[in-house]
Chain A
Amino acid sequence: MRTLLPLLVLTAATPLAAQDPHAGHDMGEAAEQADPSPGPTMETPPPPEAGEGPPRAADAIWGAEAMTASREDLRKMHGDFPVFWFQGDRIETQIRNRADTYLWDIQGYYGGPTDRLWFKTEGEGEWGDAPEDAELQALYAKAIRPFWDIQAGVRHDIAGPDTTHAVIGIQGLAPYMFEVDAALFLSHRGDLTARIEAEIDQRITQRLILQPRVEANLSAQSIPLLGIGAGLDQIEVGGRLRYELRREFAPYIGIEQSWRTGAGADFARARGEGTSATSLIAGIRFWF
């Protein structure tokens, strides 16, 4: 009851029409019976008196020239503005039985939310040696669906036999939060290959994140020059456990198993290489 007094004093000063302090409480239900504020329910276009053309009222006051720069700024800053993203997704050392290797997997883009210029580079090699595999991609990406970009461009292999590929791919977020990157590569020698990568972040805590990852490399034909077998040439499955000291910087440890399969395995054996490898991993993931 102690709360009633101020309410009474207040309401005494209000016009009769608004005296019920709880007016509106039950109006939601009441509205369904007799609409207290009827109005149109179908959208119709504005009348001709609403005019047409761009908004230029300020030009009449300040002059069109004076308005140009701020109008341009407003457009540039509200919606489609570019950002630069650089991510070292996997910068790691892999500890194996025979020889330890290093690996990098870096990507980034410059652009707005729907049109971006991408670059990707990845490669690996034994510590102390030049990379065995290394590639660089330059791609243009366009959003085709809310969660998917289509990417097209070129890839150049800078270790091993000099090879240039045309690239077309998709990258995005699949249902159940899988980050997917899939691409087809057509080399200048006419060989068609493909790569599919998928990874998913499993938050254990807000900062400790387990990331299972799978990558498969496929080929439409055997490519003896590169030691690639037709069909599923190679597959790797791994898990990385990272701790996000900051969102942008996370050291991780992990384990990964890779297999060469089918004709790919035959090539590996012919070269005296193993057909499977188990690696313990330590690395960092960062972006800015």
Chain B
Amino acid sequence: MSPISRRGFVRAAGAAAGFAAMPAWAQGHSLHATKGGTPIRVGFDEVRGAVIDLAVGHGPRMVQGRKGHGVAVNGSVPGPLIRLREGQNVRLNVTNHLSEDTSIHWHGLLVPFHMDGVPGISFPGIAPGQTFAYEFPVRQSGTYWYHSHSGLQEQQGHYGPLVIDPAGAEPAEYDRDYILLLSEFTPLHPHRIMDRLRKGEGYFNYQQTAWADDYPLSAADRRMWAEMRMPATDIADVTGSTYTYLANGRGPKEGMEFAFNPGERIRLRVINGAAQTFFNLRIPGLPMTVIASDGQNVAPVEVDEFQIGTAETYDIIIQPTAEAYTIVAESMDRSGLAIATLASRPGARAAIPPPRKPPLLDMGDMGMNHGDGAHSMDGMKMRDTLLLPPDVTVGPGIDMVSMAPVDKLGDPGLGLRDVEHRVLNYRMLAALEPNADTREPSRLLELHLTGNMERYMWSFDGEMYSAVHDKPIRFAHDERVRVKLVNNTMMAHPIHLHGMFFTLVNGESPAHQPRKSVVIVQPGASAQFDLTADAPGDWAFHCHLLYHMHGGMMQTVTVMGP
């Protein structure tokens, strides 16, 4: 990848134009049959301007010697960096060279709903051989990304970074501007992954409790987990047992490098473009100042590590002075990591820290009060459905009900609760530019995140998307609503709303509640956000873990027009 310097971007050779016409790797062969064709390139070029041509195709992929078949935008994974400027209009011509429908969703962008790119909600999708023109004004700035919203193509490589420069001055000062897009590679077809998740609980988890493990669990703890039929090790559904974690498309041994001169200030735009992975990111020896999340500027806050949920973005400022630093993005279950190096000369390397022990779920992750201090199930009901409001549909799709869900916006996330350095949490974020709408919400909407791990069913309020596809969550125009998400599962869910930012009710004043498009709701906990429903149309609202969304945790949000 080429660095993007602040005042003049280094253009990589052979950018968009050459690929857009009719790429050789995208000749429309069956996605599943032919393994030939031109290999998909690693890393990304840059495209910009008022008219941008993008081609979605497929081809063979190779990561650290592991072969697979991928879907790519303009022939590379990640797809090209789309660089826009706030205030411009853009037309993005997306041509589909696959033998199945495709789409591009502009993640975090404020666009008219019919340009949002979700087949079945915002538009019909892009048929094979078709070109679809997305057209919208660019109304914001910051770090975003784009990805397919068709099938499971995102897992196959159909994603890329999108950066919008502000119309005015950047609030932060920096000498270099880099993108670190985290994702995963797997040789498995994503349909196979979904199939295995539905059939074999714990299929990808090779860190389960066993006679020979060294987890700090007593015999009583183990009996309790077994009694509940829940694994304490269920941190990630899909793990390093099949994933190679990627930094800008490169595996940890493939030497992703960011150049710098000691003393320079670097803006690193971290994008979690993974399908199913949370990362815990740190740069040993180098503090990081978080200046933006989900594209929106926040008051700078210095930390040593942060968790980035699937589909979140964080912009950080770092000022490296030594010869080299390792950027370590550990998958949350610690079954693998993505690695990049900050290198003051080509090939410079810093030590890679040894992997930390896999974390375990605890009583708090079941929605029980830590204060109880009880490590037993005595007198506790794991599934007291009387605790659920009447609009939650109780059935086999709910295997757990949080007994006492508490707001955990101050939780740094699984695996980071007991580390000894400074870790980011949502309560440390404050919007830099004040929010326009600071009205007190006129109503509360409570949504329950529900699931059944054994059957791999995921839902809002107990009903999978297939059951509520015609029952949207409705908002009046410009209605100000507080939305409370209650997680009745033992997994963390990154919940994403299309089309509008919401602001986290994190203890800040309404003017400075941080704007986000994704919020992690911790296991067994709740989270609240305020929303101004000012974008009329139908929007997708879903868990951004790809296989949870396909498992049903999705609903349409309908915002009425004026």
Decide if A and B are genuine partners: yes
Are A10 and B173 neighbours in the complex by a CB distance under 8 Å? yes
Distance between Cα atoms of A40 and B203 in the complex (Å): 42
| Shortest distance between the CB of A159 and any CB in chain B (Å) | 30
List residues of B (7-38) whose CB comes within 8 Å of A's CBs. none
User: A68-83: contact bitstring with B at CB < 8 Å (1 yes, 0 no)?
Assistant: 0111111111111101
Beta-carbon nearest neighbor of A67 in chain B? B124
- Could you say which residues of chain B place their CB within 8 Å of the CB of A24? 427-430, 506-508
B467 at interface, CB cutoff 8 A: yes
Are A46 and B475 neighbours in the complex by a CB distance under 8 Å? yes
- Could you say which residues of chain B place their CB within 8 Å of the CB of A41? 444
| Shortest distance between the CB of A143 and any CB in chain B (Å) | 4
- Could you say which residues of chain B place their CB within 8 Å of the CB of A177? 226, 229
User: B102-140: contact bitstring with A at CB < 8 Å (1 yes, 0 no)?
Assistant: 000000000001100011111111000000000000000
- Could you say which residues of chain A place their CB within 8 Å of the CB of B227? 175-176
Are A46 and B443 neighbours in the complex by a CB distance under 8 Å? yes
Distance between Cα atoms of A70 and B433 in the complex (Å): 39
List residues of A (11-30) whose CB comes within 8 Å of B's CBs. 11, 13-15, 17-25, 27-28, 30
Are B172 and A80 neighbours in the complex by a CB distance under 8 Å? no
- Could you say which residues of chain B place their CB within 8 Å of the CB of A54? 469-472
A162 at interface, CB cutoff 8 A: no
User: A110-141: contact bitstring with B at CB < 8 Å (1 yes, 0 no)?
Assistant: 00011000000000000000000000000000
Distance between Cα atoms of A202 and B211 in the complex (Å): 8
- Could you say which residues of chain A place their CB within 8 Å of the CB of B538? 55-58
Are A79 and B506 neighbours in the complex by a CB distance under 8 Å? no
Which listed residue, A27, A55, A79, A205, touches B457 by the CB 8 Å rule? A79
Beta-carbon nearest neighbor of A48 in chain B? B476
- Could you say which residues of chain B place their CB within 8 Å of the CB of A287? 199-200
Beta-carbon nearest neighbor of B196 in chain A? A247
- Could you say which residues of chain A place their CB within 8 Å of the CB of B442? 40, 47
List residues of A (136-177) whose CB comes within 8 Å of B's CBs. 143-148, 173, 175-177
- Size bracket of the B interface: 35 or more
Question: Chain B's interface: helix, strand, loop or mixed, by majority?
Answer: loop
Are B431 and A18 neighbours in the complex by a CB distance under 8 Å? yes
Q: Residue among A30, A42, A177 with the most chain B CB within 10 A? A: A177
Are A23 and B508 neighbours in the complex by a CB distance under 8 Å? yes
Are A74 and B121 neighbours in the complex by a CB distance under 8 Å? yes
Are B508 and A36 neighbours in the complex by a CB distance under 8 Å? yes
B2 at interface, CB cutoff 8 A: no
Beta-carbon nearest neighbor of B390 in chain A? A43
User: B440-470: contact bitstring with A at CB < 8 Å (1 yes, 0 no)?
Assistant: 1111111000001011110100001111011
Are B456 and A85 neighbours in the complex by a CB distance under 8 Å? no
Q: Residue among B199, B442, B452, B508 with the most chain A CB within 10 A? A: B199
Given contacts A6-B265, A10-B300, A40-B442, contact A50 B211 (CB under 8 A): no
A220 at interface, CB cutoff 8 A: no
Are B464 and A13 neighbours in the complex by a CB distance under 8 Å? no
- Could you say which residues of chain A place their CB within 8 Å of the CB of B321? 2
- Could you say which residues of chain A place their CB within 8 Å of the CB of B429? 24
Are B173 and A9 neighbours in the complex by a CB distance under 8 Å? yes
| Shortest distance between the CB of B205 and any CB in chain A (Å) | 9
Are A70 and B440 neighbours in the complex by a CB distance under 8 Å? no
Which listed residue, B395, B466, B512, B558, touches A17 by the CB 8 Å rule? B512
Distance between Cα atoms of A143 and B396 in the complex (Å): 6
- Could you say which residues of chain A place their CB within 8 Å of the CB of B510? 36-37
- Could you say which residues of chain B place their CB within 8 Å of the CB of A71? 120-121, 469
Are B455 and A83 neighbours in the complex by a CB distance under 8 Å? no
B399 at interface, CB cutoff 8 A: yes
Distance between Cα atoms of A112 and B513 in the complex (Å): 41
Beta-carbon nearest neighbor of A3 in chain B? B287
Which listed residue, B211, B445, B456, B465, touches A113 by the CB 8 Å rule? B456
- Could you say which residues of chain B place their CB within 8 Å of the CB of A30? 507
Q: Residue among B287, B396, B440, B549 with the most chain A CB within 10 A? A: B396
Which listed residue, B114, B120, B211, B430, touches A61 by the CB 8 Å rule? B114
Distance between Cα atoms of A15 and B512 in the complex (Å): 11
| Shortest distance between the CB of A243 and any CB in chain B (Å) | 13
- Could you say which residues of chain B place their CB within 8 Å of the CB of A44? 443-444
Which listed residue, B287, B289, B446, touches A43 by the CB 8 Å rule? B446
Distance between Cα atoms of A44 and B196 in the complex (Å): 40
Distance between Cα atoms of A57 and B113 in the complex (Å): 9
B171 at interface, CB cutoff 8 A: yes
- Could you say which residues of chain A place their CB within 8 Å of the CB of B472? 54-55
Distance between Cα atoms of A79 and B302 in the complex (Å): 41
Are B208 and A73 neighbours in the complex by a CB distance under 8 Å? no
Are B319 and A146 neighbours in the complex by a CB distance under 8 Å? no
B61 at interface, CB cutoff 8 A: no
Are A204 and B464 neighbours in the complex by a CB distance under 8 Å? no
List residues of B (117-170) whose CB comes within 8 Å of A's CBs. 118-125, 151
Are B432 and A7 neighbours in the complex by a CB distance under 8 Å? no
Distance between Cα atoms of A6 and B316 in the complex (Å): 11
A269 at interface, CB cutoff 8 A: no
| Shortest distance between the CB of B323 and any CB in chain A (Å) | 16
Distance between Cα atoms of A143 and B462 in the complex (Å): 14
A51 at interface, CB cutoff 8 A: yes
Given contacts A51-B560, A67-B124, contact A20 B229 (CB under 8 A): no
| Shortest distance between the CB of A269 and any CB in chain B (Å) | 41
Distance between Cα atoms of A3 and B287 in the complex (Å): 7
Q: Residue among A6, A75, A76, A204 with the most chain B CB within 10 A? A: A6
Are A18 and B512 neighbours in the complex by a CB distance under 8 Å? yes
Are A77 and B151 neighbours in the complex by a CB distance under 8 Å? yes
B516 at interface, CB cutoff 8 A: no
Beta-carbon nearest neighbor of B446 in chain A? A43
| Shortest distance between the CB of A78 and any CB in chain B (Å) | 4
| Shortest distance between the CB of A155 and any CB in chain B (Å) | 24
Are A80 and B431 neighbours in the complex by a CB distance under 8 Å? no
Beta-carbon nearest neighbor of B407 in chain A? A28
| Shortest distance between the CB of A29 and any CB in chain B (Å) | 9
- Could you say which residues of chain A place their CB within 8 Å of the CB of B455? 113-114, 143, 146
Report which B residues bind A (CB closer than 8 A).
101, 113-114, 118-125, 151, 171-173, 195-196, 198-200, 203, 206-212, 223, 226-229, 265, 287, 289, 291, 299-302, 317, 319, 321, 383, 389, 395-399, 410, 427-434, 440-446, 452, 454-457, 459, 464-467, 469-472, 474-477, 479, 482, 484, 505-513, 528, 530, 536-538, 549-552, 554, 556, 558, 560
20 residue pairs bridging A and B, Cβ less than 8 Å apart: A6-B319, A10-B171, A15-B433, A30-B507, A37-B510, A40-B443, A40-B482, A50-B476, A51-B560, A55-B558, A58-B538, A74-B469, A75-B466, A78-B552, A83-B195, A113-B397, A113-B452, A146-B452, A176-B227, A203-B211
Q: 9 closest pairs, A vs B, by CB?
A: A79-B464, A27-B507, A74-B120, A79-B552, A79-B466, A49-B476, A143-B396, A78-B465, A54-B470
Q: A11-B299, A42-B444, A173-B229 are in contact. List 17 more A-B contacts (CB 8 A).
A: A10-B173, A13-B173, A14-B171, A14-B300, A21-B300, A40-B441, A46-B445, A50-B475, A52-B474, A54-B470, A57-B537, A57-B558, A70-B125, A146-B455, A203-B209, A203-B210, A247-B200
